[in-house]
């Protein structure tokens, strides 16, 4: 999958480096379980500021399952048209910003409309999805990284079990995110602007780790605060 998407990943990394070097933000979005790659981008160990996670808990809070804030509601909400513009109304984007949007199917209203909203604002958009003919997200994006999931997300057939188990999209998402993250860091370092990477105490000691986190959080706050005024 990474080999087949080499050109798209290289382009995505170049766009991310351009944005971060210009004091922009790479906004990342996913609903449902597609929030996983959003958190993989930032904030976690081995990541760095400049990637701005956008997650709506109403569409991605899964552990309640049933009852209030349950899974039925989350799956319903992400399919309702109109929510994306309410999310976008919270931000004032800059011309150097861009969006990386995650959706396996590319059909739910929320990610599709949010990506279109970025495009209508003149911002670059990247879709990480399975590019099939009915994929509205892929059709609207400036650049597509294809997860190449042609059939069901779950891929393991177990004897005696009616349907496959073991969804593969999360593994593919994480691989794509970290490939972009590493390449973007390399491009920034080549420009003399290495990113502020979050590093653990086991690697550099508790004091240096705390300093790295504080510096990264402060940089994230500086960038993100300029976008939160509302449009």
Edge-to-edge, what's the strand order for the sheet holding 124-129?
51-54, 26-30, 98-102, 124-129, 143-146
**According to CATH, what is the number of the domain 6-225?**
3.40.50.10490
User: Which pLDDT tens digit goes with each residue over 9-48?
Assistant: 999 999 999 999 999 999 999 999 999 999 999 999 999 9
Q: Which helix (H) or strand (E) holds 173?
A: helix 169-190
Per DSSP, the three-state class of 126 is strand
d(CA 144, CA 18): 18
Percentage of the chain beyond pLDDT 70 is: 99
d(CA 153, CA 138): 17
User: Which pLDDT tens digit goes with each residue over 42-96?
Assistant: 999 999 999 999 999 999 988 889 999 999 999 999 999 999 999 999 999 999 9
d(CA 8, CA 146): 9
The structural domains of the chain, with segments of one domain joined by +, span: 6-225
Please report which confidence band the pLDDT of residue 231 belongs to, taking 50, 70 and 90 as the band edges: low
């Amino acid at each position: 999958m990474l080999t087949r998407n080499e050109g798209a990943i290289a382009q995505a990394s170049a766009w991310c480096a351009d944005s971060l070097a210009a004091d922009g933000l790479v906004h990342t979005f996913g609903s449902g379980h597609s929030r996983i790659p959003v958190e993989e981008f930032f904030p976690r160990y081995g990541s760095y500021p400049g990637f701005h996670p956008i997650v709506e808990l109403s569409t991605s809070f899964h552990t309640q399952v049933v009852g209030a804030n349950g899974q039925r509601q989350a799956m319903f909400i992400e399919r309702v048209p109109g929510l994306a513009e309410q999310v976008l109304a919270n931000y004032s984007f800059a011309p150097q910003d861009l969006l990386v949007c995650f959706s396996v199917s590319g059909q739910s209203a929320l990610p599709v409309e949010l990506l279109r909203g970025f495009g209508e604002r003149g911002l670059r958009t990247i879709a990480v999805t399975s590019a099939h003919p009915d994929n509205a997200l892929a059709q609207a994006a400036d650049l597509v990284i294809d997860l190449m999931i042609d059939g069901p997300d779950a891929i393991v057939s177990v004897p005696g079990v009616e349907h496959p188990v073991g969804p593969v999209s999360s593994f593919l998402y994480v691989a794509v995110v970290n490939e972009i993250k590493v390449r973007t860091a390399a491009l920034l370092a080549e420009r003399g602007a290495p990113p502020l990477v979050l590093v653990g105490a086991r690697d550099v000691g508790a004091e240096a780790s705390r300093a790295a986190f504080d510096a990264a959080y402060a940089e994230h706050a500086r960038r993100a605060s300029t976008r939160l005024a509302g449009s």
